Amino acid sequence: MSRTKLKVGYKYRVEVCFFPDQYELYAQDMGIVVVIDVLRATSAMVNAFHHGVDRIIPVSTVEEAREYIGKPGYIAAAERNGEVVEGFQHGNSPLAFEGSDVKGKTIVMTTTNGTRAISLAKDAKQLVVGAFLNLTALSDWLVQQNENVLLLCAGWRGKFNLEDSTFAGAVMDRMLESGKFGLEEDSSIAARYLYLAARDNFMSILKAAPRRRRIEQLKLLPDAKFCLTSDTTDVIPMLQNGALVRMRTPTLA
Amino acid sequence: MSRTKLKVGYKYRVEVCFFPDQYELYAQDMGIVVVIDVLRATSAMVNAFHHGVDRIIPVSTVEEAREYIGKPGYIAAAERNGEVVEGFQHGNSPLAFEGSDVKGKTIVMTTTNGTRAISLAKDAKQLVVGAFLNLTALSDWLVQQNENVLLLCAGWRGKFNLEDSTFAGAVMDRMLESGKFGLEEDSSIAARYLYLAARDNFMSILKAAPRRRRIEQLKLLPDAKFCLTSDTTDVIPMLQNGALVRMRTPTLA
């Protein structure tokens, strides 16, 4: 075993899974799972904690979220197919979780892709949430951990998406730089290449014409611009007893 | 409609689907499906036709293939998880379908990923088979067609794989060059970037350490070297009445 480790030159693995459906294929031996849904669930979660939200309870169904509408101390949020579900004031727009009215609240949230990925990976030893908004804080923290790390992309309506995979490649690139982590999977190699191709003209790739049309159709352009901004915060949300809370990171404090 | 077409500047789409499981998500409006399983099913098929095989009947189960063992005029071939199935002389090694004993024969073949992808897409208006071995012939032919084209990757044991996606990116790149084809999907953008990253040091990426170890474990190195060779033949296999046959391409003759 130690000989193999010497030969490959790293202690821990960091891998990318492009789809929640494939989670089980990649989950073996993984200690930390990072759930990624850049447009927009995990960006919204990171931003909400940055603005003082106390807890986020991810739920699978709209019905579960609906029970919290109007309940004191709670914000009920539900998104399906890019839109706020009827009857809700919040969907998954990160810009809606700012301002004084979110501070100290508990958000109960259901989204098309993001909360489903969290639900699938909820039994991981540790589950954290990533987005461009917390890229550096998250990567720095991950590098300090002595665990294999799986970067789990939420995808877009069951399809591969560029923002989640490129973000995963960005985290991957920083972790490989450390020399402590290595990769085995083709998806991980591909994500890193995507990031390296995108790095210098990041926005232009992620705003390529076909994507831009789709984002404009969904009126997501202000959200997309915000979600593709790096390092607005040091907040790392983590799952604890079924709810996301803000990680206390002494080394980053 | 015509205004939209003018705006986007192309007439037909070429898209990449990374997984057979996602075929239905990408199949809408597609006229031609290219099945890709570089290691090794579609490479074997292309090479077999190059060496004079008459027909290849793809079947889903080992039992169906087994009925043809020893039957005059037939070669029964079965591969599961990288190995020749017990009782068969052929699996999916392309190097096994050469020489005088294959000429004029019908191969009945079942493989882990490749024949499954063919089965899923069998109702497409036209289904053809791609591999590095016929890259240029296939790309040139596709560019001449007036149909949307889906490049369907077989994957590796349900996971993303680099050789199929990079090959798809290579075909994609040639088709986009023509100006006649455009893309809409993130997977298509990603495949093209992978190919552009790999183009100049193709073999080094596809033989990156983790992949090389896996390929060596399976004793696939000679096969892998062959399968990653471009343009050994002009043959394009196409599906006709449930069997693959060699396409007659007058424009390339």
Q: pLDDT (tens digit, 9 = 90+) per residue, B99-134? A: 888 999 999 999 988 899 999 999 999 999 999 999
State which residue of chain A sits closest to B155, comparing Cα positions.
Answer: A186
Cβ neighbours of residue A152 under 8 Å, at least 6 residues apart? A17, A20, A23, A26, A33, A34, A35, A36, A117, A120, A121
pLDDT digits (tens, 9 = 90+) for B19-36: 999 999 999 999 999 999
Distance CA A102, CA A95 (A): 11
Q: What distance in Å separates residue B83's CA from the closest CA in chain A?
A: 21
Return the structure tokens found at A229: 């901004």
pLDDT at A2: 34
Distance CA A120, CA A114 (A): 10
Asked if the model's pLDDT at residue B237 lies above 60, the reply is yes
Q: Quote the mean pLDDT of chain B.
A: 90
Distance CA B100, CA B51 (A): 8
Assess contact for B149 and B181: CB atoms under 8 A: yes
pLDDT at A7: 45
Chain B interface includes A123 (CB < 8 A): no
Q: What is the mean pLDDT of each run of 10 residues along chain A (253 residues)?
A: 47 96 96 96 97 96 96 96 93 92 96 92 97 97 98 92 94 96 94 87 67 75 90 97 89 48
Return the higher-pLDDT residue of A160 and B202: A160
CB pairs under 8 A between A and B: 78
The reported pTM is 0.92
Contacts A15 to B, Cβ<8 Å: none
State which residue of chain A sits closest to B166, comparing Cα positions.
Answer: A190
Contacts B25 to A, Cβ<8 Å: 157-159
Contacts A189 to B, Cβ<8 Å: 162, 205, 208, 210-211
Contacts A157 to B, Cβ<8 Å: 25
Asked if the model's pLDDT at residue B48 lies above 70, the reply is yes
For the beta carbon of residue B182, count every other beta carbon within 10 angstroms: 19
Assess contact for A49 and A237: CB atoms under 8 A: yes
State which residue of chain B sits closest to A212, comparing Cα positions.
Answer: B184
The pLDDT > 90 percentage for chain B reads 75
- At the second CATH level, the architecture of B12-246 is Alpha-Beta Complex (3.90)
Between positions 5 and 34 of A, the ones with CB within 8 A of B are 8, 18, 21-22, 25-26
Asked if the model's pLDDT at residue B240 lies above 90, the reply is yes
Topology, domain A11-247: putative 2-phosphosulfolactate phosphatase (3.90.1560)
- Which residue among B156, B197, B210 places its CB closest to the CB of A193? B197
pLDDT at B157: 84
pLDDT at A217: 75
pLDDT-based confidence at B202, cuts 50/70/90? Answer: low
Distance CA A38, CA B221 (A): 39
Q: Do A159 and B22 touch (CB under 8 A)?
A: yes
Q: Do B25 and A159 touch (CB under 8 A)?
A: yes
Chain B interface includes A156 (CB < 8 A): yes
pLDDT at B1: 32
pLDDT at A24: 96
Between positions 176 and 205 of B, the ones with CB within 8 A of A are 182-187, 189-190, 193-194, 196-198, 205
Biggest CA–CA distance in chain B, Å, is 60
pLDDT at A100: 83
Chain A interface includes B208 (CB < 8 A): yes
Residue whose pair of structure tokens reads 């399968």 in the numeric block = B227
Q: Do B193 and A189 touch (CB under 8 A)?
A: no
